[in-house]
Chain A
Amino acid sequence: MASFNDDALLIEFVTESKEHLASIEPDLLALEKNGRSAGNDIINSVFRAIHSIKGAAGFFGLEALKSLSHVMESVLMMVRDGTLEPTSEVMDPLLVGVDKLNLMLDDIGASESVPYKDEVVHLEALMGNGGEAIPVSKNPQDKGTSQFQTSQNTFQVTRAALESASKGGHRLYIVSLVAEEDLVPQGRSILDMHQELLSVGMVLDCIFCMDDFDSLENCLDTTLSIKLLCSTVLEHDLLALSIKVDESKVLPMTVDQVMAQASSYSQTKVIVSAAEADEPDTETQETTPSNTISSDAPMPVDAPAEKTKPAQATAVKESQAKPGASSAPAHDSSAATESIRVRVDLLNRLMDLAGEMVLSRNQLIRTVDQLDGNFTGLDSITQNIDLVTSDLQEHIMQTRMQPVGSIFGKFPRIIRDMSKQLSKEIVLQTSGEDVELDKTILESLSDPLTHLIRNCCDHAIEMPDERIDHGKPATGTITLKAFHEGGQINITISDNGRGIDHEKVAKKVVSQGVMSDAEVKKLSTQEMVNLIFMPGLSTAEKVSDISGRGVGMDVVRTNIEKIGGTITIDTTLGKGTTISLRLPLTLAIIPSLIVGTCENRFAVPQVNLVELVCVKAEEIATKIEKVGTAAVLRLRGKLLPLVRLSDILELERNFTHPTSGEVLPDRRTEIADPRIDRDAVPPVLPENIDNARNNWASDYNILVLKVGDNNFGLIVDQLFDMEEIVVKPLSNFINTCKTFAGATIMGDGQVAMILDAGGILAAAKLSFSEIQAEENRINLQNNDDTQKKSQQAIILFNNAVDEVFALPLSTVLRLEKFSSQKVEQLGNREFLSYQNKSIEIFRMENHLPVRPCDISKEELFLILPKAFHGRVGIVASKIVDTLELEGPLDTVTISQPGISGSAVINDHLTVFIDPEELLRDYVPVENTQPQGLVANAY
């Protein structure tokens, strides 16, 4: 037997066992979903993994690990041999067993103190009953001794939950109350106390001390002690004050202290009624939906594991969801690649060294560039070092890359358990598991993603009945996708649930007094939705043990932003929500643009950079406007809010006087203020002034940066090169400064701060809703203009005195006044001579059912349509008016060739002529060209 002193071996055992357990969980879920069709490979794989853990645990003398894995192995052997079906009833205790093994491995030194006997008893009972039911004992002689788990003296909470609850300044407390002293005299109930604790923090668990109770007869004389495990940001005394109990009742705790007396959470409830023990009849209840409430067939509110139907939740990969591809993850041992285990700290050290190498390479290149004289071969050596360094850095970074599948893998279990807990039907679909992310980012992503998935289950996906009522399938779908886009990793969490009600969120914010009603009304729909990121906001009607305490989304956003990512929400009420996370591939070495402001250099990560825009000094006054208090640049029809980096960082701006060359403070407060008289002649600058910052007519260099859905422009003085920079963490004394994401060392050895686009945006306090409103107003105005342009200008004229006709002005070449005496006849055709050209006269009465022109009039008009190049004119007795026509024509009432429609204008029916169609047969359009017009016309 090995001793515990053999630490290296033990650590290796823990690492390997953890890996085994990580692979077991999805396999057990696949077995549960697909039954025996999952294939023997999976069963064997799980069996081998547990067997390995058992063997090694025995070697190290870890009895608890060995005993539990032994009984799990026995159950799995029965599954493998076909004597036990891999049903939900069998998988539940196995999964709980996996949790317990994990718990033991988390603190291997204390593994023997983890309680596991219940699990062993449960698994043994399972073997004895062939998986049909899981009573602890069916032996009538045992009845009464093991039917009840009648005490709950320990908190059921995991270390992870405790650690999560004690993050962000939260402290753990146990509030010990005696009902008769602390609740009854004040007329408070346990629920009241629970609610009071929720108002100041989280309640992690609650237990009654039942050991003092011995029988029903004496129960009223027994005091009822209650212990609540909670976490809050409040100090010990403030917590006592806020829940109105004596300070002695509130006991501050650490995670270790709680763990020392806590048992891990067990889903298995060792309960069975005597009737069920005698007459196991699980069939009826297994086939009854658990969300059905019927007085005839009463269902458990949270049915014991042995009585629930097989897991409602199923988790499938998209590929596995396809027909014929349902049989579980591939277990292709031949695909195993050669690998060795390397310690993470060694990889981290390698990464640091690669970073230093990159810095040195940058410095070398800069130095070589500045060298005078010819050094044979130096350039090629430098080039080679450059290439090798880049290659080295890339490969070392690859060693830290891990597929997101490693965290996606835990969600099927979460969905499965939560579906049961919430009586919902939820399917998880995942894709892009192979997409790789830096280990640090991946680790930081785990908690936020888990929170988002739990939120989806708890709040987004409706109960099956509600979904059916809304015309949706009873089963809700959560889709988890990872994909590359624009040099970043995108992870989306979509659901087809109820969506986020932005008005409800807004009301909640107002009711909590965080914002006024007037402030909320100014927000756009998206901004209202984004209010869910505010600390402490929860729209959940009820606080559940899953979510709803309002401590989640702000933490999610903070964590995502901490790793250089962004989070956006796209939601449609009643349809569902998609939450998108955009993350950098790595945090260690990032391509960045180096910029300068006020003699300082800064690095802007390329992932935030959309484009660069230069506004010439002489265009500043015309291109930059103000909306509210913000300066905006109109960029391709959109308003881009602008901020000066120097203003955000409170750096003093200077400029060099154009004539004296004196450096003076730049007193311009508004971005839109030009520094120069645009008509002035540029003065001659002193020779030593050669950069844009000091140039008298400095242009604006604007970096268009993207943060979430919002773009904004950051004005800097100078633009330098793109460089791969090595991110160095900020010192403690400035790491709370939100405008910086880190620091880096430049090629010349100088330090440059890395700008955090999100932090700058927050510091600028830009009101995107105001800018959006202005943009909408401008768009609306543009639409009005377009609409106006679409109004048709028409000319109204008479033929007979009381009949009104109209022509679009755009079709008219010109109008000619003529005397009827000047008309010349040729056969039955009429012509008018005008400036040595002949214009044929077209009388509408000869071609349309209209009354003839008033021939008594001496003076008539000819309307010459454009299409006929002035060779034909339509006779009009009077030009009535020209006006703008809005709205469509009536094309039904009067319909015939040559007439495009009619309308009532100024109370008169007006017939609209289509000159091209009317005259086409008379004078074909193609024959109206000036050359040979008349000759070709007939």
Chain B
Amino acid sequence: MEVVCEGLETKIIVDQDLIATHSTQIHGEIVNALKEVDDGTVVLDISKTEMMDSIGIKVVIGLMKSCQSKGLGLRLDVASANILRLFKICKLDDLLDVREVVAHG
């Protein structure tokens, strides 16, 4: 995972699937990254993530709640059609700023 700060945007780039197997590690890393952000917008870049299960959803909801309480903006950059579909079905794209992007090489 990589964290890139660009002006008021803090981009957390996830390079694995957001599934139960990796969730504890990714969750910890995102928690740590978020601690460093005080203002602006957090961008969760999951354009390299192909799969997301219910654990991944929980991480996204948790991040949303934390950003809300810290007064931060939140955006999700998504490339996977499956994840986009999941967000659409569950209407998370109504609650979050979800952007479809081209997957990074």
Task: Tell me the A residues contacting B by CB distance below 8 Å.
Answer: 143-145, 147-150, 152, 156, 179-180, 183-184, 189-191, 194, 203, 205-208, 210, 213-220, 222, 224, 226, 269, 271-278, 293-295, 298-302, 304, 545
Tell me, in angstroms, the Cα distance from A214 to B67 when the chains sit together: 11
Size range of the interface on B? 35 or more
Point out the residues of chain A lying under 8 angstroms from B93, CB to CB.
301-302
Q: Contact between B62 and A271 (Cβ–Cβ < 8 Å)?
A: no
State whether A301 touches B99 (Cβ < 8 A): yes
Q: Which of B23, B67, B78, B86 contacts A190 (CB 8 A)?
A: B86
Q: Which residues of B61-101 have CB atoms within 8 Å of chain A's CB atoms? A: 61-75, 77-78, 82, 84-101
With beta carbons under 8 angstroms apart, the residue of B64, B65, B88, B101 that contacts A298 is: B101
Instruction: Enumerate chain A residues within 8 angstroms of B57, measured Cβ to Cβ.
Output: 179, 190, 208, 224
Is B61 in contact with A144, judged by CB distance below 8 angstroms?
no
A274 near B39: Cβ-Cβ < 8 Å: yes
Chain A, interface SS category: loop
Q: Which residues of B contact A152 (CB under 8 A)?
A: 91, 94-95
Q: How far is the CA of A594 from the CA of B57 in the complex (A)?
A: 68
Residues of A within 8 A of B70 (CB): 144
| Residues on A with beta carbons closer than 8 Å to the beta carbon of B21 | none
Contact A190 B91 (CB under 8 A): no
A219 contacts which of B40, B41, B61, B104 (Cβ < 8 Å)? B61
Q: Count chain B CB atoms within 10 A of each CB in A205, A207, A300 and give the residue with the most.
A: A300
User: Is residue B55 within 8 Å, beta carbon to beta carbon, of the partner chain?
Assistant: yes
- Assembled-state Cα–Cα distance A278/B54 (Å): 33
B2 at the interface (CB under 8 A from A): no
- B19 → chain A closest CB, angstroms: 9
Known: A148-B74, A274-B72, A275-B41. 11 other contacts (CB 8 A): A144-B69, A184-B20, A203-B89, A206-B90, A206-B91, A208-B61, A216-B27, A216-B31, A217-B66, A220-B62, A298-B101
Question: Nearest Cβ distance between residue B38 and chain A, in whole angstroms?
Answer: 11
Interface pair B77/A219, CB less than 8 Å apart: no
Q: Are A184 and B54 in contact (CB under 8 A)?
A: yes
A210-B61, A224-B54 given as contacts; is B91 within 8 A of A295 (CB)? no
Number of A-B contacts (CB under 8 A): 164
- Which interface residue of B23, B69, B87 has the most chain A CB atoms within 10 A? B69
Q: Provide the bound-state CA to CA distance between A587 and B97, in Å.
A: 51
Main secondary structure on B side of the interface with A? helix
Q: Is the CB of A216 within 8 A of B68?
A: no
With A and B bound together, what is the CA distance between A569 and B60 in angstroms?
A: 46
CA distance A148 to B76 in the complex (A): 14
**Are B61 and A213 in contact, CB atoms less than 8 angstroms apart?**
yes
Chain A residues, Cβ within 8 Å of B74: 148, 273
Separation of A269 and B99 alpha carbons in the complex (Å): 14
Q: Is the CB of B94 within 8 A of A216?
A: no
Residues of the B chain whose Cβ atoms lie less than 8 Å from the Cβ of A194 = 89
Task: Show 6 A/B contacts (Cβ-Cβ < 8 Å), sorted by A.
Answer: A271-B95, A273-B73, A274-B39, A294-B102, A295-B101, A298-B99
Given A274-B72, A298-B101, A216:B65 Cβ within 8 A = yes
- Check if A217 sits within 8 Å of B58, measured CB to CB: no
> Contacts A144-B71, A147-B73, A294-B102 hold; do A271 and B41 have CB atoms under 8 A apart?
no
B54–A220 touching, CB < 8 Å: no
Interface check B13, CB cutoff 8 A:
no
Q: Which of B24, B77, B87 contacts A220 (CB 8 A)?
A: B24
From A210, A218, A299, name the one whose CB has the most chain B CB atoms within 10 angstroms: A210
Are A150 and B65 in contact, with the CB atoms below 8 A? Answer: yes
- Check A220–B58 contact: CB distance below 8 A: yes
Nearest CB to that of B7 among chain A residues? A275
Residue contact B61 to A217, C-beta cutoff 8 Å = no
User: Which chain A residues lie closer than 8 Å to B24 at the CB level?
Assistant: 220
Judge whether A190 and B69 touch: CB under 8 Å: no
List of A residues within 8 angstroms of B54 by Cβ: 179-180, 183-184, 189-190, 224
Which of B20, B39, B94 is close to A269, meaning CB atoms less than 8 Å apart? B94
* Residues of chain A contacted by B8 (CB below 8 angstroms): 274-275, 278
B59 interface residue, CB < 8 Å from A? Answer: yes
Q: A183 to B90, alpha carbons, bound, how many Å?
A: 15
Contact of A274 among B41, B64, B99 (CB under 8 A): B41
| Alpha-carbon gap, A394 to B87, bound state (A) | 56
Contact of A301 among B73, B78, B82, B91 (CB under 8 A): B78
* Shortest beta-carbon distance from B60 to chain A in Å: 9
Q: How far is the CA of A183 from the CA of B19 in the complex (A)?
A: 13
Are B59 and A298 in contact (CB-based, < 8 A)? no
- Closest chain-A Cβ to B65's Cβ sits at a distance in Å of 5
B91 pairs with A217, CB closer than 8 A: no
CB neighbours (8 Å) of A208 from chain B are 57, 61, 90, 92
A213–B64 Cα gap in the complex (Å)?
A: 9
- Contacts A144-B69, A216-B66, A275-B8: A222 and B99 contacting too (C-beta < 8 A)? no
Cβ–Cβ < 8 Å partners of A274 in chain B = 8, 39-41, 71-73
CB distance from A420 to the nearest CB of B (A): 13
A299 to B102, CA, bound (A): 10
Chain B residues 9-47 with CB under 8 Å of chain A are 9, 20, 23-24, 27, 30-31, 34, 39-41
> 8 tightest CB-CB pairs across the interface, nearest first?
A219-B62, A144-B71, A274-B73, A273-B73, A179-B54, A301-B100, A216-B62, A216-B66
Is the beta-carbon distance between B101 and A293 smaller than 8 angstroms? yes
A152, B75: Cα distance in complex, Å: 18
Q: Who on chain B is nearest to A194 by CB?
A: B89
